Chain A
Amino acid sequence: MSRARAVSVAMMVAALPAWAQDVGVVSDEQFQSPRSGGIIIRAGGYKPLLDDEKALNGKTPFKDTFGDSSLLLAELEIQGYFYQGIGTAGVGVSAGYGEKYAAAKLESGANAAELTALKVVPLGLNLFYKFDYAAFEWGIPLVPYGKVGLVYSPWWVTKGNDDEVVDGINASGGKWGWSATGGMSFLLDVLQPRFARDFDSGLGINHSYLFAEYTYSDVDNFGKPGFVLSSRRWMFGLALDY
């Protein structure tokens, strides 16, 4: 009899965490599908530090042409996880696009009738780590993370309908660099746990997050002369674990 009671008590104790999960605490154990990677969509202002090039000696052609506002940069990143234990680590690849238009200038300095534009396509390869252990095990829906990686940014400048050509130089190219990113994700599953489970069972999306991140990037062919596409920027977006 006492043995049966002990078993009953043990079963009730074992059931408590499951009950708690149903009312808000998110646990990785309750999801059926495994995680293998992530998809991230983000956007933010990107203002390349073009006017920081030493050879410009303080002149500011970027600011003079495009003003003080940033380009709108949108990026897509795909991640693969190679470690899932106390947090998650993996490798990510990303591609983005940003452009900014302004009026070309006449010799007098007045605005011309046609437009000039700077366009960039930042490509990235990074290693990342995110501390999601606390979210899955303790129900704290905040996931800090960090990334470091290699960046290659194709760029081109247009005037009118075509790439601009100055002194025989076609205004297009690419710049190498590196970047470091730190950010914080908010685990959306805690808002609608049942919906999150349905999302997993139906589409294989294990978790979804909203995040904000800060990126420090130096994209200037590692200090060589020419364009400085480096930036310090905030970006915001949505991340999905699958």
Chain B
Amino acid sequence: MRLTFAVLLLFASTALGQTAPVVNFAIPGTTAQNNEIVVSKQTCADLRTVTWTRTGALACSSLIFWLSPDNCTGEPGTGDLVLGNEVPQGDTTTLSGTLQLRMSDALAASSPTLSCSTQAENKSYKLCASTEKQDSTLDCDDERSNIGQPTITFTLDPVAPPAPALPAVTGLDSALSVSVTVSGDASQMKVQVVELVQGGEDGGTVTAGELVVEKTQTIDNTVFRMDGLVNGKLYGVQAIAYDKAGNPSDESPLATGSPIPSDGFFAAYREAGGQETGGCGAGGGGLALGAVVAALGFWMMSRRKLS
């Protein structure tokens, strides 16, 4: 009886020493946005990579990876795409790996009628890593559960955002300040400054001509400073929105604006007769004083306290 108890205890301690399995996903590069991989129709058939690392033992079953349009519990079923990276039960050496995701494969697995070209609205899949886990009494669960974290979403976004509204343009010195309104699910905005072309039979309609300068920013900053322009010249300005998948919107209506010269304080000072010509003064003595100040500061900070 005592021997049985001791053996049980030994087994229990071994089991207790095993930690629950966990898979950590990571998306290399800059393709991920908030753990979401988004592709467009154009990039629907491109491969996307996710790396994984594992901790804990696979005591009850193998580890499988799959894409599901619903949830990650149970066995992969109809509509799910199993990725060919199964790790056998009891494997102690395969602790990391790489998964290749292709949206076109996931769509085909969901339904034979789905494809990159026919899908007209957003379609999302969750990346699952599942195995059967042990409960507190060391029994194996009846069904697989997801052990992957964080939740990685793989999305096809075939819909471009709507065209932005007319940008607001303000003239600066040799530059234009352009304020844009974010449209739809845009994650980035591009502003283009273009030459204006007179069109129409009466010559009264202006259209966008050759590109002069363009700039792209995330939607955190909706004010663009477009430099390198000629004061007094009338330019056209248009905005384009991009969603996470990179789908471009149509161009916004064409706004116009002219850079206008202005004087800062130094120009006003010089115009008033001021004789300052810049420079460090006394042969760059500022550097010398800066060095002295830094050295003294260091000396005083590092000096031992007087007793």
Give B290 Cβ to nearest chain A Cβ, in Å.
6
- A53 interface residue per 8 A CB criterion: yes
Which residues from A are CB-within-8-Å of B266?
116, 157, 159, 164, 166, 169, 171
Contact B286 A78 (CB under 8 A): no
Which residues from A are CB-within-8-Å of B268?
61, 64-65, 105
Contact A35 B296 (CB under 8 A): no
Give A52 Cβ to nearest chain B Cβ, in Å.
11
The stretch of A10-18, A138-146, A173-181, A183-191 that contacts the partner chain: A173-181
Number of interface residues of B (CB under 8 A): 46
Contact B262 A106 (CB under 8 A): yes
Which residues from A are CB-within-8-Å of B172?
112-114, 160
Contact B300 A79 (CB under 8 A): yes
Question: How many angstroms from the CA of A106 to the CA of B263 in the assembled complex?
Answer: 6
Contact B273 A55 (CB under 8 A): yes
Contact A61 B175 (CB under 8 A): no
Question: How many angstroms from the CA of A81 to the CA of B280 in the assembled complex?
Answer: 31
- B299 interface residue per 8 A CB criterion: yes
Question: How many angstroms from the CA of A113 to the CA of B266 in the assembled complex?
Answer: 17
Q: Which of B177, B270, B281, B307 has the most CB of A within 10 A?
A: B281
Complex: chain B residue closest to A173, CB-CB: B278
Q: With A37-B303, A113-B177, A123-B289 in contact, do A164 and B267 touch (Cβ < 8 Å)? A: yes
Which residues from A are CB-within-8-Å of B275?
53, 55, 225-226
Question: How many angstroms from the CA of A93 to the CA of B305 in the assembled complex?
Answer: 18
Contact B281 A114 (CB under 8 A): no
Label chain A's interface by main secondary structure. Answer: strand
Complex: chain A residue closest to B261, CB-CB: A107
Count: A-B pairs, CB below 8 Å: 168
Question: How many angstroms from the CA of A98 to the CA of B139 in the assembled complex?
Answer: 69
Among B265, B301, B304, contact of A102 (Cβ-Cβ < 8 Å): B265
- B29 interface residue per 8 A CB criterion: no
- A56 interface residue per 8 A CB criterion: yes
Number of interface residues of A (CB under 8 A): 65
Question: How many angstroms from the CA of A95 to the CA of B289 in the assembled complex?
Answer: 11
Which residues from A are CB-within-8-Å of B262?
104-107, 112, 114, 159
- A194 interface residue per 8 A CB criterion: no
- A227 interface residue per 8 A CB criterion: yes
From 36 to 52 in chain B, residues with beta carbon under 8 angstroms from any chain A beta carbon are: none
Give B202 Cβ to nearest chain A Cβ, in Å.
33
Complex: chain A residue closest to B268, CB-CB: A61
Contact B173 A221 (CB under 8 A): no
Give B121 Cβ to nearest chain A Cβ, in Å.
42
Q: With A61-B269, A80-B303 in contact, do A55 and B274 touch (Cβ < 8 Å)? A: yes
Contact B282 A166 (CB under 8 A): no
Give B172 Cβ to nearest chain A Cβ, in Å.
5
Which residues from B are CB-within-8-Å of A64?
268
Question: How many angstroms from the CA of A7 to the CA of B268 in the assembled complex?
Answer: 81
Contact A164 B265 (CB under 8 A): yes
From 233 to 271 in chain B, residues with beta carbon under 8 angstroms from any chain A beta carbon are: 260-271
Give B143 Cβ to nearest chain A Cβ, in Å.
58
A interface footprint on B103-125 (CB within 8 Å = 1, 0 otherwise): 00000000000000000000000
Complex: chain B residue closest to A227, CB-CB: B276
- B285 interface residue per 8 A CB criterion: yes
Contact B281 A221 (CB under 8 A): yes
Complex: chain A residue closest to B174, CB-CB: A160
| Sample of 28 A–B contacts (CB below 8 Å) | A33-B305, A36-B306, A59-B272, A60-B272, A65-B265, A65-B268, A80-B303, A93-B297, A104-B264, A106-B262, A113-B170, A114-B173, A117-B265, A125-B293, A152-B286, A154-B280, A157-B265, A159-B173, A159-B262, A159-B266, A164-B264, A164-B266, A166-B267, A174-B279, A176-B282, A176-B285, A204-B305, A226-B277
- B-side residues, CB < 8 A to A, are 170-173, 175, 177, 225, 260-282, 285-286, 289-290, 292-293, 296-297, 299-301, 303-307
A105-B262, A150-B289, A158-B264 given; 10 more Cβ-contact pairs under 8 Å: A33-B305, A34-B307, A55-B273, A57-B273, A78-B300, A93-B300, A152-B289, A166-B270, A173-B280, A204-B305
